[in-house]
Chains A and B, each alone.
Chain A
Amino acid sequence: MHEKAAVEVAGLVKRYGGTTAVDGLDLTVEHGTVTAVLGPNGAGKTTTVEICEGYRKPDAGTVRVLGLDPVADGAALRPRIGVMLQSGGVYPGVRAGEMLRHMAALYAHPLDVDALVERLGLGSCGRTAYRRLSGGQQQRLALAMAVVGRPELVFLDEPTAGLDPQARRATWDLVRELRADGVGCVLTTHHMDEAEELADAVAIVDAGRVVAHGSPGELCRGGAENTLRFSGRPGLDLASLLRALPPRTGAEEVAPGAYRLHGTVDPQLIATVTSWCAQNGVLPDRIAVERRTLEDVFLELTGKELRS
C-alpha cells in the first residue's frame, strides 16, 4: 500500500543561535510501527519531532512525513497526524471533555469522544477546569487529543513523563492498541524500559545525532557482550575453564568465590561452564545471565547516564 516509510529524515540539522540542537540526524520510521527516540534531555529529540510536525524548518537535510514536506505540505499533512506536545496545549479554563469534543470537531471521522473519555479514565474530570486536573489527567487528555482524529501516525513527546506506574501502563496499552490497528507511533522518552517494552525500533540520540538504531533486541545483543555470573568455592582454576570456552571469552574472580564471565552468553556457553564445573567437582551456585539493557548500550555509546 505504502511505497515509502512513514517518516524519512536525512541529514537533519537545526541550530538555535550558536548551539546546534540537531546535527546531521537520520531516522526512518516504517508504517504502522512504534519507534522510540531515546536520549537524555537536550539530545535533540523534541526538536526533531517538532520539525516532523511542521513546527520549524530544518537548517539542512530533508524531512518527509507520510511522503510530505511538513512545512510546505503542512495543510495536507496535519489532518493525517496526531500530536502530543511535551506539555501544555490546552486552554487553562477548558473542561477535559469539552476540549476533546472540540478537537474531534476539527476532524472528518473522529473517534467517539465519550468512549475515549471513558477509555482514558477522564470521565471523573467532569466540569473541572484543565488547570485543576492532576498532572496525570492532563497527560491523558493530551494523549486523547492526539488520537481522537484517527490519524495514520502519532507523535508523542514524552507521553509518560511524570506519570505514576499505573498511568504509564495505561498509556502503553493505548500505544499497543494504536499499533494493533495500524497506526504508526513515534515517541520520545528517556525511560529505557518504555522503549524496550513498546518499541519495534529504537533510535538512540545523543548530541543531535542517532548513535545507534535497531530493535531493542538487536541493540542489546550487538556490540559488547553479555555477562554470566556464578558462585562456587574460591580459587577455581580459571585458566582451565577458559581453555574449555570459546575464544574471546573472559573470566575473573571478582570476589572470593564470585566469578564473572563475559562473552557471547548462549546456551552452549552455559552448558560448557556447567560441564566444566561437573568435571572439577564444583557445585555452581546462583548462575545468572545478565543481558545488556538499553541503558547499558546508551552508557557505552555516549559515556553518559540516560536520565542525566
Chain B
Amino acid sequence: MNGIATGTHSPAPGAAPAGRMIAAQAALELRMALRHGEQLLLTVVIPTLLLVLFSGVDIVDLPVDGGERVDFVAPGVLALAVLSTAFTGQAIATGFERRYGVLKRLGSSPLPRWGLMTAKTAAVVGVEVLQVALLSAVAFALGWSPEGNGAVVALLLVVGTAAFSGLGLLMAGTLRAEATLAAANLVFVLLLLGGGVVVPLERFPQAAQDVLALLPVTALSDGLRAVLQHGAGVPWTELGILTAWAVVALTAAARFFRWE
C-alpha cells in the first residue's frame, strides 16, 4: 500500500449536476437488475416460457375470436412483464437495499430522494423496454398480429408501471426484506393465475370475476387485450382502475415508506 501525495484529499466538495447523478444511479440500478439471476427468471424467463407454452399448446381453452392463440396470450404476458419488473423485482431489490443500508447510505450522498426515485423509475422502464422488445419479437415469431393504437398501449403500460411501482415500494418500505421477498413472489404467482394473464377471467365463477376484474394486473391485461386483440380505442374502465391503484399505492408508499 503506497502513500499518496499530500494535497490529494484537499477539500473540493460539491454535488454533481442532478442529471448526471440520476443517470449514474439509473445505469447502476439497471445493471444490477440485469445481472441478478433470480430477477431475470421472473422478468424474462417466466414470461417468455408462458408466452411460448400457452400460445403453442392447448392447455386452456382461450377466447381467440378467430385469431391466433398468441393474440390472447401476448397482451397478458406483457402485463405480467410489467408486474414482474415494477412490482416483484422492484419490491425485492428495494427491500434488500433498505435492509443492507444502501438507501441509508445514499441518503447522506448528494443524490436527493426524488433523484433516487426518478432513477429507480428510469431503471424499471429500461428493463420493461427490453422485456417488451423481447416478448414482442417472440410473439411475432409465433404469428402475433396486434391491432390498435401504440400510444394507448404505451399509456396503459405507463399507468400500470406507476400502480405496480407504488405497490412494490409500499411493500419494500414497510415490511422486512425477507417478508417482502416471500410476499412479492406469492403475489406474483397469485396474480399470474388469477389476474387474467394467461387464464381467461371467464373461467372463474361470476362473483370471483367481479372482484378479480378490479386487480391491477387484470385491468392491465384486459386493457391491453382490448386494444391489441380487439383494436379498441382507449379502454376507460381499465385505465380508470389502474389510475386509482396508482394514486392510492403511490400516496401510501410516500406516506409509509421507511428508509431504514
Question: What total of A-B pairs shows CB separation below 8 Å?
Answer: 127
B-contact 0/1 string along A41-62, CB 8 Å cutoff:
0000000000001110000000
* Complex contact B15–A78 (CB within 8 A): yes
Q: Is B100 an interface residue (CB 8 A)?
A: yes
Residue among A53, A87, A109, A119 making CB contact with B4, cutoff 8 Å: A119
Q: In this assembly, does B142 line the interface, its C-beta being within 8 Å of a C-beta of chain A?
A: no
CA distance A90 to B21 in the complex (A): 17
* Docked-complex contact B100 and A150, CB < 8 angstroms: no
Check if B203 is an interface residue, CB within 8 A of chain A: no
Q: Which residues of A contact B206 (CB under 8 A)?
A: none
CB–CB B112/A85 < 8 A = no
Tell me if B111 is interfacial: C-beta within 8 Å of chain A. Answer: yes
Known: A78-B108, A85-B104, A89-B102. A182 touches B11 (CB 8 A): yes
A89 to B101, CA, bound (A): 4
Instruction: Determine if A183 is an interface residue (Cβ-Cβ < 8 Å).
Output: yes
Q: Does A161 contact B (CB under 8 A)?
A: no
Asked whether B32 is an interface residue with its Cβ less than 8 Å from the other chain, the reply is: yes
Number of residues from B at the complex interface, CB < 8 A: 38
User: In the complex where A107-B16, A150-B12 touch, is A92 in contact with B21 (Cβ < 8 A)?
Assistant: no
B260: chain A residues at CB < 8 Å are 55
Residues from 284 to 301 in A contacting B, C-beta threshold 8 Å: none
Q: Give bound CA distance, A89 to B105, whole Å.
A: 5
A213 to B101, CA, bound (A): 31
A220 CB, nearest partner CB in chain B, Å: 29
- Contact at A91–B102, with CB atoms within 8 Å? yes
Contact yes or no, A81 B112, CB < 8 A: no
- By the criterion CB–CB under 8 Å, are A93 and B36 in contact? yes
* Known contacts A108-B14, A151-B11: A79-B2 contact under CB 8 Å: no
Chain B residues 154 to 194 lying within 8 A of chain A, measured CB to CB, are none
Within 8 A of A (CB), among B115-151: none
Q: Is B96 an interface residue (CB 8 A)?
A: yes
Is B1 within 8 A of A105, CB to CB?
A: no
Closest-CB distance, A181 to chain B (whole angstroms): 4
Cβ-based interface call for A29 (8 A) = no
Q: Which residues of A contact B258 (CB under 8 A)?
A: none
Mark A residues whose CB is within 8 Å of B.
53-55, 75, 78-81, 83, 85, 87-94, 98, 102-103, 105-109, 111, 115, 118-121, 145, 147, 149-152, 170, 173, 177-178, 180-183
21 contacts between A and B (CB under 8 A): A78-B109, A83-B108, A88-B102, A89-B101, A91-B32, A92-B96, A98-B31, A105-B16, A106-B111, A107-B16, A107-B110, A108-B13, A115-B8, A119-B2, A121-B1, A145-B105, A150-B12, A178-B9, A180-B6, A181-B8, A183-B11
